Each structure stands twice: as C-alpha cells, then as structure tokens.
Structure 1
Amino acid sequence: MTRWDAVRVRQGLVDSCSSAEQAGDQALRKGRPREARRHYERMLAESIRLAEQFPDLSTRRDLSLSFNKYGDFWVGADRLDQAAQAYEEGLAIAGRLREENPDDIRLLRDLRFGESALGEIALRTGGPAAQDTARDRFTTALALAEHIVEAGPLDPADRRELGALQERLGLLAAERQDLDEAARWYARALAVRRELAAELKGDAQARRDLGVQYERLGDLALRRRDLEAARAHYDESLSLRRALLGDDPRDLATQRALSTLCERLGDVALLTEGPEQARQWYDDSFAILDAAYGPRHPETRTLRKKLRSHPASPN
C-alpha cells in the first residue's frame, strides 16, 4: 500500500466512524434506541479496525472514546453491566496510552471520565460493597482531577469537574452518616465553585453549581440541627436561583429548585419561628411549582398532598 493509499484508507475509516456516531445520536434524538445501537456498534467496529491498522495515539484514543460513547448508550438504556464493560474497555486503553504518553493531559481527562462513570454505575447498583467501590472510583477520579488542575492551564471545565467530584464524595459521606467528612468535602467544593462564579460572572452554569453547593451545605446543617447555618446557606442558594430565573423566567429546572428551597426554608422556619412563618414559605413553594408545571402535574399534586398533611397546614 502506498502512502497515499494509506492516507485514503485511514480517512475513509475516520469518516465512517464519525458518520456512524452521528447517525446513532440522531436515532437517539428521534427515540429509536435499537437503530442507535446498530449505529454505535458500527462506530465501535470501525474504530477497532482503524486502531488495528493505524495504531498511533490518535486512533487508539479515539477507540477509547468510542467505548465511552457506547457505555453512555447503555447507561441511557439502563443496562449497567454492558455500560460498565464498555467503560472498562475505554479506561484500559486510556491507561495504556497514559503509560506511553505521561504528559498528555487529554489522557488524564479520559481516565478521570472513566473512573467517574464507573463510580456512578456502582452507586446505581446499590449495596454497601457498591458504595465502597463508588468511593474508590471517585477518589481515584479526584486525584486525576487535582493533577489536571495542577498541571494547568486552569481550564474552567477541569475545575468544575474537580468541584463536582468533591461534592460527590461529600454526598457519599453524608449517606454514611459521616457528617463531619461530608462538611469537609462540601467546604472544598464550595471554594472551587466560588472562585469559578467570581471569575465567570456571566456563566449561568457556574452560578447554578454554586447554588447547588449552598443547598447541599444547608441540607447538612439542617441534619445537624444548626438551623441558623441552614437558613444562611439556603438564603444564599435562593438568591442565586432567583437571579438565574431573572435571566431566563422559563427555566423549569430553576423554578423547581426555587420551589424546593422555599420548602426547606419552611422546614427551618417551622423549627425556629413557628407554623405561621413556615406556611408562608410552603405557600411560596407550591405557588412556584403550580405556575411552572400546572395543578395537574404529578410533582405539583405530590407537593400539594405533602403540604396538606404537614404540621404547618391550616387544615
């Protein structure tokens, strides 16, 4: 095969992989998962052929990413065993590539993704052993995330992933009833997210992440019955969510988050001020959800039922 022939064959395989991936994505958007699976499997087969015929860093990394994409598909189909197998394949390839290319930051990101994805699958599997596996995976992913951020440049996406992993480890600690450890992880995540929100003033995602972190801290303080701290954290989150809603009044996710925060502030008020003040927050919570989803939506009806049976209810 001449050099020109090799270039042509390689480009043909690259184009075939890309075409199959795009077709799979389109089939998923149209709600046709069986068709999407066929396209993704063709993508994977072509990626394997490409890496076997032209085994350089680029093609082998693309093969790792193809396995990750296939894993994403199985997660969406709720087939966690198949997803885990695909992610493990992608992670193994990325690990071998990193041994050969220790300074390539892209490979660190690939490893971080694989460890985190397998941690999420372990969590969904359930059980104490799965919790331990998830914690180990997230701890490994966090070490990679720290290495990436230290290596620089300080990419906001890398720092956002760092904060997300710190928060995830905090959530796991809270589930184990280790509230002190959870507080330490949340404090670290808060510092990262405060810095990002300050630097990226117009970035809605940075403000949203910060709002979530304050809400986590409020939940933790409420569990500890530190009611003043809980109220302060919830107030911070509420201010951030209200500002986001001002930017996009039709944002249903933010409206739902606001409703939840009003309900939590009602819980705090019930314990500190009494049922009258609590009921004002609960009424606000319901009004937001009712306006966003309508009175017949399952979430609205569930909240109405919950509030009617609440100690602060006038009925």
Structure 2
Amino acid sequence: MSEDATAQKQDSPDSDIEIRAEPDGASSPPRKRTVFASILIELREASPLNKILIALSVAGFVLGTVGWNVLSGLNDEPSTSDVMELNQKVADKEAELDALRHRELLDELARQKGVKPEHLLPLFQAAERELPREGFEQAIGDAVEALLAKANERVPDFKDDAVIEDVLRQAREKLKTLDTEGAIALLEGRLRESDEARQAERLGEARVARELAEIAADAFQWNKAAAAYEKAGSLNSADVWAWFKAGDIHKLRGDLSSALTAYETGRYFAESLGKERDRSVGYIRIGDVEMARGALDAARAAYSASLEIRQTLAGRDPSNTQWQRELSISHTRIGDVEVARGALDVALAAYSAGLEIRQTLAVRDPSNAEWQRDLAISHNRIGDVEMARGALNAALAAYSASLEIAQTLGGRDPSNTRWQRDLSVSHTSIGDVEMTRGALGAALAAYSASLEITQTLAGRDPSNTQWQRDLSVIQTRIGDVEMARGALGAALAAYSASLEIVRALASRDPSNTQWQRDLSISHIRIGDVEVARGALDAALAAYSAGLEIAQALAGRDPSNTQWQRDLSISQDQIGNVEVARGALDAALTAYSASLEIRQTLAGRDPSNAEWQRDLIVSNVKLASVGNKPAQRYEAALAIARDLLETNRLAPRDAWMVEDLERRLGEERAGETR
C-alpha cells in the first residue's frame, strides 16, 4: 500500500472504532484502542452470566497492561502479543468457569441418581473432550438416562454360556451406579480372554491340520495333504511353510495354478511378518512354476528377487552356511532361465557362481550329503551348457563329476528317492554325450541304467508326475538309439511308451508347457519312424500334431529359444515328408520357414554349436529341393569348417565337411557344363 493510502474503516455492531493501516515506520495518528474491540467481541459471543464473569475477570488485566495507556490518551497502540495474551486470558477464564459449572452439574446428578461422583467423572471427562460447549448439559443428562435404561434392561436370552451371561449381568450392575469405566473394563477383559482363547484354539487346530497333512503326505494321499497344509496356513499365518508345502504337492501333481496360488500366499505372509529368508524361498518356488509354464520373464523376475534377498543375507553373515547354500540355488535357477533363452555365456556365469559356493561348502564338510548333492547338480548344469556349445569333452568331464557324487550318495541309501533320481539323471546325461559322439553302445548302456532306476521310482508312486515325466524322457532317449541302429520296431515301441505317458500328463494340465513340449517331441519321434518305414501319411499326421503344439508354444513366448528351435525342427520334418511325397513346393515352404527361425537363433548366439549345426542342415535341405544349391552348400560348408576348426564339430558329424565339399564341387561342375 502506498504512503498516501486512504484509511479503511471496519464497522462493528458493538463499536465505531476506526482501524487505519499504516506503512512500516509511519507514525500513528490518535485513534481509539482496538483492544476494546477484542474484549467486546468476546463479550458479545458469551452468555449473560459469562459476560459478567468475563468482564470482571479481565478488568484487572486491561487496567494493568494497556488500560492506563488508553485512559491517559497516549498514542501507543497495544501490540499483537498483547491482544493474543488477552484472548488467552479470556479463554482460560471461560475454561475455569466451564469446569466449575460441570462440577456443580456432576455433583447434582450424583445426588439425584444416588451414585458416587467418581463414577460420573469419566463420563464428564469424555464429554468435555468430544462435545461442544453448547448443549453440554442436555447431552450429559441424556447420556445418564440412556445408561441407566441399559442397566435396567433384561439380559437377552441368546443361548450364551453361563460365563457370558454372568459377565453381561455384572456389567449391567455397574451401569446401575453409572460406573461406565467399570462396565467397559469388565467387558474388554472378557473380550481379551475370548480372543486369547480363540487364538489358542486356532493354533491348536493348526497343529492338528499340520499333523494330518504330514501323515497324509507320507501315505500318498496328496489331496488330503494339500488341503490340510492350506488349512494349517490359514489358521496360523506364521506357518509360512505350510503354504509352501501345499504348493509343492500341487506342483508335483501338475496343478500349476493351485501351486502358484499357494506359493504367492506363503510369500505374502512371509513378507508381512518380515521373514526375509522365507520370502526368498517363496520367490524361488514362484519362479519354478513360471518356468514350468514357460513364462521366462516372470521366472527371471522371481529368481532375481530371491537372489537379491539372499545376497543381502549371505553378505550379512558369510559364516551362515544355509544362507550361502541358498544363494547358490538362486544363481543356479537364473542359469536355468538363461539356458532356456539361449544365453549360454550368461547361464555359464550363473552356474559357475553357484558352483564356486557349493565347492566351498562341500570341502568344508565332505560328509554333508545335501552339499554334495548340490555340487553334483552344479556339475550337471555346467555339462548341459558345454553340450550346447559343442564342447563334448568338457561336458563329459562335468557329467562324470556329477555321476561320481550321485553314485556315492545313491549307494549310501538306496531308499532315498531323491538321490536315486539324481543318479538316473547323471546316467542320462552321460548317455547324451555318448550319443552325440556316435558311441551307440555306450549311450544305450547309460540310458538303460537310467531306465532301470526311473521305472522303479515311477512304479513306486504313479501319481508323482516328475517321475512319470522322467520315464517318458528316458524312453525317448532309448528310442533315439534304436533309430540310429536301424531297429525301427524297438524305436517305435520306445517312442509309443513315451507318448502314452506325456499324453496323460498334458491332458492333466494343458497349461504345463513342459509337458506340452514333451508331447510335441513324442509326435515328431513317431513321425521319424513312420518316415523310415515309408508310411508317409502316418508320418505327416504325427508331424502335424507336433507342429501344432510347437506353433502354440513358440507364439506364446518368442524369446524362448528352445520353443523356437522345436518349431524349426517341426517345419523341417514336414518338409522331409513333402519331399518324399514329391511335393517340392510344399517342402520348400517348410524348409524356408525353418531356416528363418534358425538364422535368428544363430545370430543371437554364434557360440551355440547346436544352432550352427541346425543352419547347416537347413541349407542342405533347401539345396536338395533346388533352392540356390551352390550358394546353400557353400554357406553350409563355411559353418562346418568353422565348427571343425574351433573343436565344436561333434565326432558323429565329422563326415559333414568332406560331404559338403563333394556336394559343392559337383554342383559347381554341373554349372560349368
């Protein structure tokens, strides 16, 4: 406001006091005192009795602080702090007056109702906190009448037990004397006792449910076991592992949806209770389900969450062997995802990190069977990566190290089904190397050893889906050996046995992508036999069934390299049948579709020897149907020579370089004629 600002006038019904705004530092002309305005406003809002008391109580303050200045006509206006102090004095006096009036009212009600004043005191204190000043007396009176009416009500007959009825009657007796605090304390105490009793009862029921679950699981009554574990978890939220065990049963039986729900529930309770280790376990199990469903991104996210927690725990206490072991598990799971994605270098790094931890633990205590088993698993995983890279010697060394441990553990306790399964897996892996090297006798021996163990396990519990799948896998491997030996009847028998198992599994849970993939592979293998037998229509039907599944899986997740490769194989097989039927155009379409997929995969990871070999095959097949033969053979030969020079060409494929050189030479010779 400028220095020559005009005066502002504020009208009040109680005063004609003028208030003039002045700039900082300006002198104030004579004026009437604004402090009186504040006093009069307070008086205006008060009741008649309060007006008298307020006026009397503040008179001394006014005269003592600003009154003399006003009476003497001095120009100094009271400060803001003076006015605030005056307002506070007024409020304090009002509070003193209210307290006096409320005490008189309390004593009067106590005399009227014949009760102790101290019983009414909590009621008045609560009302003073919660109710406005206006209507206070009426509200207190109404409350007293309502409480007395409640006290004289007959206790309803709700078929309550005697203890409950007795508590209610005692509370009503206290209300008759308006002892509200006593009545409330009595009822709250009973509720606490009831809550404690209910909690104890729930915990007792949870223990019963746990016992039932464990017995039912040991008796192979999986449905009862899963339901009982879930009941135990719902009754006792602290029992996070009850949910995990329920999920394990659902997963074992192939119900991935129910398994995921159980694992998510367990992880949620673990998080809410601050149980970090259990939360990491929940993430691992969730990742396992996502892997089985083929959701690689979701699996990777879950495993990474687990890894982050476990790195923190393991870093917090490096001497805690359990946390170290679990950290190695998270590394291994991440490696599994990367293998499925075709990122072999990343997978190998993850597996190696897990192996390093496990070697340290195994050296610390060679008698610890669990740590020895973990070490065997790490060797096996690294062998898988080396196989995919075409490093057969490195793969065999890793598989052999795993087999040695598995044989030791399996021999220690033949009744331990987990160790027996590990032994069968190691035999299968050794067989895979021998098959790739072309040593059919050694491969068949290894596969047969695995089959014997797997048949025993699968026969022990036909409802165990993992063991049933293992049986189907080893049947397929044996069929591969028989095909390579030319024993078509034996091959068809093995493939058919595998198909029967995976068809049953896939129908049980169509969302299980692993089982769907197994079914696709079985169809393709049977198609191979039918081609060899010359039954082209039967072969085409089998290949088409496999192709349909492969297309569905590949379309679900284009980043899953395993599914993409499966699709390329199915396209190849369809092309083979079309060639045999003389439909070269149809064959060219199928082979071209296969090549497109394989070029993408090989470009993603040139170190993957298997994918490089697939490129050789696709180029040769396209050349065989007249598609740029010289160019195709030349491309195939370049890849084969590179694999040979880098020691990644499998011994069974050693003939490829010479054969491709011959084909390319013949083609070029034909072009010059």
Q: TM-score with structure 2 length normalisation?
A: 0.38
Identity %: 20
Please name the residue that 2:373 is paired with. Answer: 64
How far apart are the structure 2 equivalents of 1:224 and 1:64? 44
Verify the 8 A CA contact 1:262 1:282 in the aligned structure 2.
Answer: no
How far apart are the structure 2 equivalents of 1:72 and 1:304? 29
The answer as to 2:515 corresponding to 1:209 is: no
Please name the residue that 1:164 is paired with. Answer: 473
Please name the residue that 1:310 is paired with. Answer: 624
2:433 paired residue among 108, 118, 121: 121
1:44 paired residue among 359, 366, 381: 359
Alpha-carbon deviation of 1:283? 1.9
Verify the 8 A CA contact 1:71 1:87 in the aligned structure 2.
Answer: yes
Change in Cα spacing, 1:270 to 1:285, as seen in structure 2 (3 Å) is closer
Verify the 8 A CA contact 2:492 2:529 in the aligned structure 1.
Answer: yes
1:182 paired residue among 484, 488, 491: 491
The answer as to 2:406 corresponding to 1:94 is: no
In the TM superposition, 1:260-275 aligns within 5 A as 260-272=569-581, 274-275=582-583
Change in Cα spacing, 1:181 to 1:64, as seen in structure 2 (3 Å) is same
SS in 1 for 2:486: coil
State the one-letter code of the partner of 1:283: T
Verify the 8 A CA contact 1:170 1:183 in the aligned structure 2.
Answer: yes
Q: Higher mean Cα deviation, 223-232 or 262-271?
A: 262-271
State the one-letter code of the partner of 2:385: G
How far apart are the structure 1 equivalents of 2:380 and 2:564? 32
Verify the 8 A CA contact 1:13 1:47 in the aligned structure 2.
Answer: no
1:243 paired residue among 552, 556, 559: 552
Verify the 8 A CA contact 1:259 1:289 in the aligned structure 2.
Answer: yes
Who wins on radius of gyration, i.e. which is larger? 2
Change in Cα spacing, 1:174 to 1:15, as seen in structure 2 (3 Å) is same
How far apart are the structure 2 equivalents of 1:14 and 1:95? 23
Please list every run of 5 or more consecutive structure 1 residues that lacks an aligned counterpart in the other structure: 1-8, 53-58
Q: TM-score with structure 1 length normalisation?
A: 0.75
2:459 paired residue among 150, 156, 159: 150
Alpha-carbon deviation of 1:250? 5.8
2:321 paired residue among 13, 19, 29: 13
Q: Higher mean Cα deviation, 169-178 or 154-163?
A: 154-163
Q: Higher mean Cα deviation, 192-201 or 42-51?
A: 42-51
Please name the residue that 1:55 is paired with. Answer: none
Q: Encode CA deviations 1:204-258: one digit per residue, 9 max, x unaligned.
A: 2211111111111111111221112111111211222233345346655444433
How far apart are the structure 1 equivalents of 2:496 and 2:378? 33
Please name the residue that 2:586 is paired with. Answer: 280
How far apart are the structure 1 equivalents of 2:456 and 2:580? 44
Change in Cα spacing, 1:156 to 1:82, as seen in structure 2 (3 Å) is same
How far apart are the structure 1 equivalents of 2:456 and 2:535? 35
Change in Cα spacing, 1:87 to 1:280, as seen in structure 2 (3 Å) is same
Please name the residue that 1:6 is paired with. Answer: none
How far apart are the structure 2 equivalents of 1:196 and 1:32? 29
Cα RMSD (Å): 3.8
Please name the residue that 1:3 is paired with. Answer: none
Alpha-carbon deviation of 1:157? 2.0
SS in 2 for 1:47: helix
Verify the 8 A CA contact 1:21 1:39 in the aligned structure 2.
Answer: yes
Q: Encode CA deviations 1:271-295: one digit per residue, 9 max, x unaligned.
A: 33x34xx31342244246537856x
Verify the 8 A CA contact 1:71 1:82 in the aligned structure 2.
Answer: no
How far apart are the structure 2 equivalents of 1:217 and 1:26? 34
The answer as to 2:567 corresponding to 1:258 is: yes
Change in Cα spacing, 1:271 to 1:63, as seen in structure 2 (3 Å) is closer
Please list every run of 5 or more consecutive structure 2 residues that lacks an aligned counterpart in the other structure: 1-316, 339-344, 607-611, 630-673
Verify the 8 A CA contact 1:279 1:313 in the aligned structure 2.
Answer: no
The answer as to 2:505 corresponding to 1:199 is: no
Which of the two has greater helix per residue? 1
State the one-letter code of the partner of 1:233: A
**Larger RCO (CA under 8 A, 6+ residues apart):** 1
SS in 1 for 2:496: helix
Alpha-carbon deviation of 1:118? 2.7
How far apart are the structure 2 equivalents of 1:266 and 1:33? 35
Q: Higher mean Cα deviation, 188-197 or 305-314?
A: 305-314
The answer as to 2:449 corresponding to 1:140 is: yes
Please name the residue that 2:419 is paired with. Answer: 107
What is the number of equivalent residue pairs in this alignment? 291
Verify the 8 A CA contact 1:68 1:87 in the aligned structure 2.
Answer: yes
Change in Cα spacing, 1:223 to 1:40, as seen in structure 2 (3 Å) is same
How far apart are the structure 2 equivalents of 1:45 and 1:306? 48
How far apart are the structure 1 equivalents of 2:335 and 2:502? 36
Change in Cα spacing, 1:221 to 1:81, as seen in structure 2 (3 Å) is closer
Alpha-carbon deviation of 1:63? 1.2
How far apart are the structure 2 equivalents of 1:314 and 1:167? 36
Alpha-carbon deviation of 1:87? 1.7
Change in Cα spacing, 1:184 to 1:96, as seen in structure 2 (3 Å) is same
